[in-house]
Chains A and B, each alone.
Chain A
């Protein structure tokens, strides 16, 4: 192993799944060798940037790359959407962080991914398949336009249940409806793994509680360092307080206090919104150079209202 294989965090590929969701493939040979399903990275876009945790969606040991699927919800992720082109570099990317997801000896597993959570559930589905399990993927999106990686999942899953809120692709319904279908079809499910927005993971845990099916979830709270130092990512799991970055990020979904998690995720909503407004305003101003000042201002205000509209709660992802 060569320590000089350190990366300069170059972006080698990018794919846009929709207006809000995009994929970045970052060159980091050493990390691609170390990464395991369930782990995450912390990314800094530039020197002034914040550190944002992103779950590793895939890793390619041959190409030496790490794949991230990101949703543009806040200032940083929108700025990344705008600035991260193939050939550009990130200021920093550290990882793989967190305890890898235990790929258990379960014989039949349901891998549930909601919205953006579809990406990080992929390495787990593949991991279970490689471990010899029968893998059922339940993927949920808001509508047909947001669907991604359907084929990729088909390649490693025995069954795929696709749900959309409006029924424009797959079955119409919430992701929990998809889980119910899987549970109705199979009475011998050993484990459910769910990744997505907290509200979705909460619903998944509730859906399997009665049947007492082991349900693992991957939480993504607010973090600064990702190494157990700040304690910002603490979550209540049963009667214990755990740090998601070093004690997780995977926990027993039946024990996680999701209400507490969601509350803590809202901690910086106000300042985050302000930062976002300021940034989108400055972007607009930059674009309007040369145009009539008043005109620019007016258009800036109009556009702002639109941007402030929160993304679909179904896909609402924390951080960034």
Chain B
């Protein structure tokens, strides 16, 4: 290694990433952020101090060896960088794009204490994209065992769990209710943020590991979780079905034509390709003025999709202020650049009827911030007499989702009081052999957290099945107090199958 770098000797400015011009991109669905060139990546890799305490690694939900892969980029060994990334993260192109790095690895980066943090996400994406372009796949040595593992849901949690179980030698089948695999990555996150080709490339890599994908399969209704274990020969099942049941506001006018959930808008546009109507059959008339309620990442996606579909005006209405907005700062910034009009501290009161059953506008009230609430954010309080109306012909609710009820309706899995699947610290559910993770356990969260949960569940499943995984070392502390990952007091051992 060369002589030790210091904060003074590294490039001071974070290497910018080329972006499509806001005016041009507001009219297309191509990716906004164009990615680093090899030169950009090389320069940015210089900025990593290789500091000994490596806070970034603990800031990453899956614990990627971040300094390690950046070092390889710096040595111009991209294949080596990819190898390090794929040791812990099989989907670098996806995570590099959609992780909230500012709250994770980059948020704790040592360089970030005095300068802008190292652009870890951009570097990760650069390596992942290079691998797709070059056709690199890291297929580890897999020694097949006799275990059959079923994964319910092909979103990020399911994909991550499937990868680990396949690597451990299991025969893995992933079931998906939609006609295409990918879950929220496909139906939710728009192409301009995460192109479908990237998702398909990552799914194809999983297929090369021997993972089977069965689409058009609604688990719970076509067959139940219990049937998978009792009749279909699965030794363990992972449930990662997400929390896709959209919340409506429950204000007057909710059911008018022109009021829809962000899920519906995004699914129509992204998965069903309504943006290519009439070449694709699913319609999505966008309206002239669109108001999106909420300020999370989904809300930002909804505003930006609306702009691209040709809405003249797109408003984003949020009852708290910009500081409290849950969306990634970059997404809010991008939406702003593309012409979205933000109305902070504004809460909808009613959707207005045009007299023919369609939306004519929205009545809102101004808010101010009061004392902090349970979430630690300052509670918005309505300002008396501040109600006002504005015109809109499409209202999109992006105010969060609830647990999907199908698993609860069709299985004996214990649910918590909010309807999410109850799971212990090892992500084991109340049914022996069945594990759950991602949004269906925690409520709506991020892609990387779901992937982290998928991997954690995989670790528990391996312990449950008695699979020793020599390729990966796990901390012993995790298994304390449990036998095969099952809490000895809680589990019914009748169904346990040991190799």
Contacts and interface: CB of A to CB of B under 8 A. Distances in A.
B267 interface: yes
Contact of B405 (A1, A247, A263): A247
Interface residues of B, number: 47
A228 B278 contact: no
B179 A227 contact: no
Contact of B257 (A3, A99, A267): A267
A92 B279 contact: no
Nearest to A235: B255
Interface stretch (A146-154, A206-214, A269-277, A306-314): A269-277
A228 B244 contact: yes
Contacts of A268: 283, 285
A263 B357 contact: yes
Interface string A1-34: 1110010010000000000000000000011001
A230 B264 contact: yes
Contacts of A50: 272, 280-283
Contacts of A108: none
Given A229-B267, A230-B261, A246 B404 contact: yes
A274 B284 CA distance: 13
A246 B280 contact: no
A159 B244 CA distance: 44
A129 interface: no
A106 to B, nearest CB: 23
A285 interface: no
B416 interface: no
Interface in B90-105: none
A276 to B, nearest CB: 10
B281 A49 contact: yes
Instruction: Name B's interface SS.
Output: loop
Contacts of A264: 255, 257
Contacts of B37: none
A230 B254 contact: no
B141 to A, nearest CB: 27
Contact of A6 (B178, B214, B233, B277): B214
A268 B264 CA distance: 14
Contacts of B281: 48-50, 75-76, 275
Contacts of A49: 280-281
Interface in A222-237: 224-232, 234, 236
Given A246-B245, A264-B255, 12 more contacts: A1-B223, A1-B232, A2-B232, A3-B223, A34-B223, A49-B280, A51-B282, A229-B244, A232-B260, A271-B283, A275-B278, A278-B278
Interface of A: 1-3, 6, 9, 30-31, 34, 39, 44, 48-51, 75-76, 91-97, 99, 224-232, 234, 236, 241, 243, 246-247, 260, 263-264, 266-268, 270-272, 274-275, 278
Q: What are the 7 tightest A-B residue pairs by CB atom distance, in nearest-first order?
A: A230-B264, A229-B244, A271-B283, A50-B281, A231-B261, A1-B231, A263-B357
24 contacts: A1-B227, A2-B232, A3-B173, A3-B223, A6-B217, A9-B216, A48-B281, A50-B283, A75-B281, A94-B178, A99-B409, A224-B264, A224-B268, A225-B178, A228-B244, A228-B406, A229-B267, A232-B260, A234-B248, A234-B255, A241-B250, A246-B404, A268-B283, A271-B277
